[in-house]
């Protein structure tokens, strides 16, 4: 074998240093600098060099250890049985299972005539590996993996994880070490980041990072405030226990002891069983409530595991079979924007093409300006891109250490002061995350949504003009603005798919009928942002005419009940766009009429003047029914909670409105409480 040349020696040294730096950032600092796929690529390159040139192997090489070192602040814990890593199958297709099965059969001396090997197939969780030591059923110590030989004593933090039992059920052995993964559910992670953002604190890159950071806190109270979970997947040291004959039996026994074990596990026969499991989990992966980066296969028989033994520091009887990487590293070339159906302006990163999640990605969402600022993403950065299944790719964050020069920060409103689709002004409310195009009636990007809203039952009430028909009319360029609805003729409609003469006549009759409406309905039909049905009626009562409303400034608008600064600003911005005023005049010219100077309707009943907000799902009535019954007794239903709100009616899965009501001290009632109020008013 030829000795390594100078360039190979230098490359191996660089790879060792680079991987050690990433290990330190990931395991010790809890601040990953590269996606997993990039780390794996560097690791495999170093493995290949050391395999070809064994003289380059060093004791401190990342390939010779599991990774990470104990933090100096924590007491070291020597693992009685090392916490070793398992081999990763680099073939991310189902054929990787065949390769593992072939190796196992070869090591066991099996041929084609022998029956299939029995395996256990499990999930590969994306969390923090932990060893839980129970003595006589009580949790006495929890330690991280560390370098596999020595970990960190994190007992204080781990005791705060509710999923981990402090005492085992049944009759556990005198000593039982349970090994598993501490992780964070995706919904818990999203809620945690929302709280962090609201408090002005840093947000976390991913659930794994948040979980690891929580456990490595010297103050257990910090871990207690983070929603952590746990799954067991194996054993460490045991004493005084007659082990089950199989790994699956071990998992069942742990379940009996009250230890959480993931339900997504099964006994699989041979390569075919493993491939089937790999495929099923691939389809299920994005629907799981937690992150995984692959599956794990283990020979089920513990006797066969002992027979197979280990190679270097990895068991021959187990393998991690990953899926295509969901994160990758690439260059952010530019930031552009997309205009959504409701006018939302979404910044989109234009990327150097990169293969991630099984496809080549060239664009990734940046969500909004706040996200760009929080992540400090700049054009010209190297960024981590994440794609999970069919989810739109997103930019997780920049690799700041690779930033060259003083790259300018991105400001959406400076770069795009007007809508790139229609030229209307782009605005962003002071308390809103999303910037929006103000050309609602005019902007082609918002056309279908604006038309559906305009024709809705509570707006112009054009019966028969629904989603499918609007799609056909817009796609055929027959209708571009609401005015075009009133210019439709029988020939244009009759030529559409599934539109016969009778249906066309019925639609034209409904359109003609809608020409006579009320001012409140017409204001609501315009689709002014944050102006709901009740607010539209209030505006009609207060101003009496559309001309008076369109000329009002923010101060005058705020004299209307429940119209605050945000709603007032939205109304002013809408009428400031010449496109919108022109369409209103064209609608008038098309014969759309309403009564000006509508008399105010004085509320009657015991709920007169009371303001209600509905949130969540009521068990016995829909929100529409509740609204009708409240308004029939003189009450008013609005969309947001304020100091003027009298009651919040909260059903199942009530959200932020309930929280706001609690903060403001607003009376909160359930459906039964609402029925009691309604009964008092009759």
Residue range 400-432, pLDDT digits in tens = 888 988 899 999 999 999 999 899 999 987 767
Q: What is the reported pLDDT for 309? A: 93
- What is the Cα 293 distance to its own chain's centre? 16
> How far is 640 from 643, CA to CA, in rounded Å?
10
Residue 303 to residues 268, 275, 306, 402, 481, Cα–Cα distance (Å):
17, 24, 5, 50, 74
Among 109, 23, 101, smallest CA distance to 67 is for: 23
The upper half-sphere exposure of residue 529, i.e. CA atoms within 13 Å in the direction of its Cβ, equals 25
Among 385, 357, 352, 325, smallest CA distance to 40 is for: 325
Rounded to 10 degrees, what is the CA torsion of 70, 71, 75, 78? 0
Q: What is the reported pLDDT for 65? A: 46
> How far is 584 from 586, CA to CA, in rounded Å?
5
Say which DSSP state 582 is in: H
The upper half-sphere exposure of residue 249, i.e. CA atoms within 13 Å in the direction of its Cβ, equals 11
Q: What is the reported pLDDT for 604? A: 57
User: What CATH class has 611-680?
Assistant: alpha beta
- What is the Cα 400 distance to its own chain's centre? 24
Angle at which helices 270-284 and 95-108 cross, to 10°: 150
> How far is 458 from 138, CA to CA, in rounded Å?
63
Give residue limits of the domains in the chain.
Answer: 6-64, 87-322, 327-415, 455-594, 611-680
User: What CATH class has 87-322?
Assistant: alpha beta
Neighbours of 469 (CB within 10 A): 21
CATH, domain range 6-64: 1.10.287.610
Among 347, 392, 344, 343, smallest CA distance to 370 is for: 347
Say which DSSP state 597 is in: S
Among 456, 487, 460, smallest CA distance to 473 is for: 487
Retrieve residue 640's tokens.
């947001």
Strand partners, 268: 119
> How far is 587 from 589, CA to CA, in rounded Å?
5
Say which DSSP state 425 is in: B
**pTM over cut 0.75:** no
Q: What is the reported pLDDT for 199? A: 76
Per the listing, tokens 């005492």 go with: 167
Q: What is the reported pLDDT for 502? A: 84
How many residues are present in the chain? 682
Angle at which helices 578-589 and 565-576 cross, to 10°: 70
- As a three-state string, the secondary structure of 330-393 is EEEEEEEEEECCCCEEEEEEEEEEEEECCEEEEEEECCCHHHHHHHCCCCCCEEEEECCCCCCC
Neighbours of 372 (CB within 10 A): 20
| Beta-strand relationship, 292-299 and 310-311 | unpaired
Q: What is the reported pLDDT for 599? A: 42
Neighbours of 516 (CB within 10 A): 11
Q: What is the reported pLDDT for 167? A: 87
> How far is 282 from 284, CA to CA, in rounded Å?
5
* Sheet architecture: strand order including 128-135: 138-144, 128-135, 175-183, 229-239
Strand partners, 297: 121, 319
3-class state of residue 243 by DSSP: coil
Active-site annotation holder among 69, 124, 263, 644:
124
Retrieve residue 524's tokens.
């609501």
Contact between 489 and 502 under an 8 Å Cβ cutoff? The reply is: no
> How far is 38 from 402, CA to CA, in rounded Å?
14
> How far is 437 from 345, CA to CA, in rounded Å?
7
Contact between 409 and 415 under an 8 Å Cβ cutoff? The reply is: no
Among 160, 142, 161, 140, smallest CA distance to 152 is for: 142
Contact between 215 and 74 under an 8 Å Cβ cutoff? The reply is: no
Provide the H-helix boundaries in 239-301.
Answer: 247-256, 270-284
Q: What is the reported pLDDT for 72? A: 57
Contact between 278 and 89 under an 8 Å Cβ cutoff? The reply is: no
For the four alpha carbons of 218, 220, 221 and 226, in that order, the dihedral sign comes to: positive
CATH superfamily name and code, 455-594: 5' to 3' exonuclease, C-terminal subdomain (1.10.150.20)
- Mean pLDDT (10-residue bins), the chain, 682 residues: 85 88 63 80 88 82 56 81 87 87 95 95 93 94 91 88 87 96 90 80 77 81 84 95 96 93 95 95 88 93 95 89 84 93 90 85 91 92 81 85 90 94 87 83 86 92 91 89 92 82 90 94 91 89 92 91 84 90 94 72 67 87 82 80 88 81 89 86 52
CATH topology of domain 327-415: OB fold (Dihydrolipoamide Acetyltransferase, E2P) (2.40.50)
Examine the residue annotation and report whether 610 is marked as an active-site residue of this protein: no
């Amino acid at each position: 074998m030829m000795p390594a040349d100078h360039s190979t020696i230098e490359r191996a040294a660089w790879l060792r240093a680079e991987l050690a730096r990433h290990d330190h950032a990931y395991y010790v600092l809890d601040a990953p600098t590269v996606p997993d796929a990039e780390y794996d690529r560097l690791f495999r390159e170093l493995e290949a060099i050391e395999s070809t040139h064994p003289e380059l192997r060093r004791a401190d090489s990342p390939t010779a250890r599991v990774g990470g070192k104990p933090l100096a602040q924590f007491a070291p814990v020597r693992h009685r049985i090392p916490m070793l890593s398992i081999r990763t199958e680099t073939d991310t297709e189902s054929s990787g299972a065949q390769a593992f099965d072939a190796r196992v059969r070869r090591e066991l001396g099996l041929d084609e005539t022998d029956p299939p090997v029995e395996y256990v197939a499990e999930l590969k969780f994306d969390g923090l590996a932990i060893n839980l030591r129970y003595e006589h059923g009580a949790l006495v110590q929890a330690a991280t993996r560390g370098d596999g030989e020595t970990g960190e004593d994190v007992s204080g933090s781990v005791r705060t994880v509710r999923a981990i039992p402090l005492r085992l059920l049944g009759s556990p052995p005198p000593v039982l070490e349970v090994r598993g993964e501490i992780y964070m559910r995706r919904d818990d992670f999203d809620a945690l980041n929302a709280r962090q953002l609201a408090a002005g604190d840093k947000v976390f890159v991913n659930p794994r990072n948040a979980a690891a950071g929580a456990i490595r806190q010297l103050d257990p109270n910090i871990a207690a405030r983070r929603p952590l979970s746990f799954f067991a997947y194996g054993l460490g040291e045991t004493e005084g226990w007659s082990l089950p004959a199989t790994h699956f039996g071990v998992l069942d026994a742990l379940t009996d002891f009250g230890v959480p074990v993931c339900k997504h596990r099964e006994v699989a026969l041979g390569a075919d069983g493993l491939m089937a499991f790999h495929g099923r989990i691939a389809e299920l992966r994005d629907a799981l409530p937690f992150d995984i980066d692959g599956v794990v296969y283990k020979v089920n028989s513990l006797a066969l595991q002992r027979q197979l033994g280990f190679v270097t520091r990895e068991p021959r009887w187990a393998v991690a079979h990953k899926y295509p990487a969901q994160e990758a590293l690439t260059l952010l070339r530019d930031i552009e924007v997309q205009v959504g159906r409701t006018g939302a302006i979404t910044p989109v990163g234009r990327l150097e093409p990169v293969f991630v999640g099984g496809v080549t990605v060239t664009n990734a969402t940046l969500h909004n300006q706040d996200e760009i600022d929080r992540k400090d993403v700049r054009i010209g950065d190297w960024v981590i891109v994440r794609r999970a299944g069919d989810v739109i790719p997103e930019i997780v964050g920049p690799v700041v250490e690779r930033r060259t020069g003083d790259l300018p920060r991105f400001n959406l409103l400076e770069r795009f002061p007007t809508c790139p689709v229609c030229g209307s002004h782009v605005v962003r409310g002071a308390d809103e995350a999303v910037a929006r195009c103000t050309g609602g009636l005019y902007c082609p990007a918002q056309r279908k949504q604006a038309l559906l809203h305009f024709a809705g039952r509570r707006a112009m009430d054009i019966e028969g003009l629904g989603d499918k028909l609007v799609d056909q009319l817009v796609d055929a360029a027959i209708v571009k603005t609401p005015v075009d609805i009133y210019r439709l003729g029988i020939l244009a409609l009759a030529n559409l798919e599934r539109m016969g003469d009778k249906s066309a006549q019925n639609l034209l009759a409904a359109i003609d009928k809608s020409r006579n409406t009320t001012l409140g309905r017409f204001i609501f039909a315009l689709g002014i942002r944050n102006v709901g049905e009740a607010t539209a009626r209030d505006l009609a009562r207060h101003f009496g005419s559309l001309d008076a409303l369109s000329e009002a400034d923010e101060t005058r608008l705020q004299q209307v009940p429940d119209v605050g600064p945000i709603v007032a600003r939205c109304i002013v911005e809408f009428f400031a766009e010449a496109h919108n005023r022109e369409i209103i005049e064209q609608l008038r010219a098309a014969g759309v009429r309403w009564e000006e100077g509508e008399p105010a309707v004085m509320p009657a009943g015991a709920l007169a003047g009371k303001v209600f907000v509905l949130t969540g799902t009521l068990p016995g009535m829909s929100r529409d029914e509740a609204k009708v019954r409240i308004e029939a007794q003189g009450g008013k239903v609005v969309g947001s909670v304020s100091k003027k709100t009298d009651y919040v009616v909260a059903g199942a899965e009530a959200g932020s409105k309930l929280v706001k009501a609690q903060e403001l001290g607003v009376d909160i009632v359930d459906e039964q409480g609402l029925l009691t109020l309604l009964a008092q008013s009759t």
